[in-house]
Amino acid sequence: ISETSFLQPENSRSYKKCFLLLANNYSFLIFNIDPVPVVLLVVEGGPNTVRTVHEAVVENNIPAVFLEGTGRCCDLFAKAFHLYNEYRRNIESDDETSI
C-alpha cells in the first residue's frame, strides 16, 4: 500500500477491517522507516473507538483530535475534557483563595 492507495469498502464492517489493515501497515512503516507526524482524528465512534483512542493516546503517545458535536463517544470525550478543565479551574481558584 502506498500513500496514493484508495480503499473502497462495501460496507461499514469491511471499512473497519480495511482501515485497521491500512493503519497497521502504515504504523509499521512509520515506526520502522521514517518518523512522520501522526494524529488520530475521531468523528462519532463507539466502544471500539474508545479502545482505539486509548491505544493511540496512552500506549503510543499519539495525539487525538475530537470533533465535538458529531455524537456518540466523540461527545463523551468532549464532555469529559470540559469537566476536567472546569475541575482544574476550581482547584486553582481554591488554591489562590487559600493563600
Q: Rounded to whole angstroms, what are the CA distances from 24 to 16, 34, 82? A: 12, 15, 31
Task: Give the pLDDT of residue 23.
Answer: 55
Supply φ then ψ for residue 49, to 5 degrees.
-65, -35
Beta bridge partners of 65: 41
Per-residue pLDDT of the chain (99 residues; tens, 9 = 90+): 444 444 444 544 544 454 555 555 555 545 555 567 889 888 888 889 999 999 999 998 899 888 888 888 888 988 998 999 999 999 888 777 766
Question: What DSSP state is assigned to residue 44?
Answer: S
Query: Does this model's pTM top 0.85?
Result: no
Task: Give the pLDDT of residue 31.
Answer: 54
Boundaries of every domain in the chain:
12-97
Task: Give the pLDDT of residue 84.
Answer: 92
